[in-house]
Amino acid sequence: MPHDLLKDRVALITGAGQGLGAAVAREFAAEGASVALVEINPTTVSAVEAEIRSKGGRAQAYPLDITDHAAYRQAIEQVVARWGRLDILVNNAAIAFYATILDDTLENWRKQIAVNLESVYMGSKMAAPIMVRQGGGRIISITSVQGFVSSGMCGAYNAAKGGIIALTKSMAVELAPYNILVNAVAPGFMLTPMSIVDGVDETQSPDFLDWYVAKRKIPLARTGYPEDDAGAVVFLASEYCRYMTGQVLVVDGGLTSTF
C-alpha cells in the first residue's frame, strides 16, 4: 500500500539488519526513500540491502558498531556524499541484558547505556547539523513502554529508554527553530529476535498466551509485529506529521492503558 510518502527523502536507520529496523527500512524504501542501513551484523544487513534493491528500492548497507563514533560519523558523511542529503534519522539499534540490581554488573550497565542511549545522543548530534543546513529534518528514536513502566530485570535498558524520552523532548525544543521534528515510538511487546531470550520466544510462552492474550492484559490480545511499529515511524517521518514534536507514540496494543 505504498503512497510515495517519503519520495526523494534520505533516511538512516540504525539496527537495520533485523526486527523493527529492517521493517522500517523496508517500509521507508517502499515509500520512496533512499535508505542507509547501519548495522553491526554485516550478514543480516547485506541481506536486507539485497532484498530492498531486488524490489527496486534504493538501499546501502553500512556495517558498523554505532558505539564506534568515528566509524558512525564516516558513514553519515558517506550517506551525504552518495545521496546529497540526510532527511530522517531513526535511532533504533539496541541490546538487552536481563539482571536485577542485585546481580547486574557495571560493565553490562555501561554497554547498554552506550548502545541504547549514548548512540542516540551521538547519532542525533552528528545528523542535526546536516538537517539544520538543509532547512529541516526528522529524528525518530525507538524507546519502549519500559521507559515508563518496568517488568523488572532490565534496569539499564529501562534507564536508557527513559533517557531517550527525556532527550527526545529536549531535542524537540532545541531543534524546533530549525524545522527539525523530534519524536519517539514506544513499542510494547513485539515479535522480533530480541524477544527470543535464551532460545525461548517470550511472546509464545504459556504464561504470555494466558495473561496477555487470553486474559487480555494486552487489550488487542496479541503480540505486536515489527510492521505495526514501522507504520508509526513512517507517519512520524512523513508530511502527515508536521505539527507534532517531542512526543512518544505508544504502540502496545493497549498494554499500558490497563492495569
Which residues are catalytically annotated? 157
Pairing of strands 10-14, 88-91: parallel
* Site stretch for ligand NAD (CB under 6 A), options 90-98, 124-132, 168-176, 230-238: 90-98
What's the distance, CA 124 to chain centroid?
A: 13
Task: Pick out residues in 146-205 that bind ligand NAD (CB under 6 A).
Answer: 187, 189-190, 192-195
- Of positions 10, 11, 13, 19, contacts ligand NAD by CB under 6 A: 19
What string marks each residue from 25 to 44 as x (binds ligand NAD by CB under 6 A) or -?
--------------xxx--x
In the complex, minimum distance from the CB of residue 143 to ligand NAD, in angstroms, rounded to a whole number:
7
| Residue 142 is a binding residue for ligand NAD (CB under 6 A) | yes
Q: Which residue is nearest to ligand NAD (CB)?
A: 19
Cβ–Cβ under 8 Å, residues 87 and 9: yes
Cβ–Cβ under 8 Å, residues 147 and 164: yes
Which three cell numbers mark 52? 530492498
| Residue 115 is a binding residue for ligand NAD (CB under 6 A) | yes
Pairwise CA distance, residues 201 & 96, whole Å: 14
| Residue 66 is a binding residue for ligand NAD (CB under 6 A) | yes
In the complex, minimum distance from the CB of residue 135 to ligand NAD, in angstroms, rounded to a whole number:
29
Question: 3-state class of 63 per DSSP?
Answer: strand
**HSE-up (13 A, CA, CB side) for residue 200:** 7
Q: What angle do CA 257, 121, 114 make, to 5 degrees?
A: 90
* Site stretch for ligand NAD (CB under 6 A), options 1-9, 14-22, 166-174, 176-184: 14-22
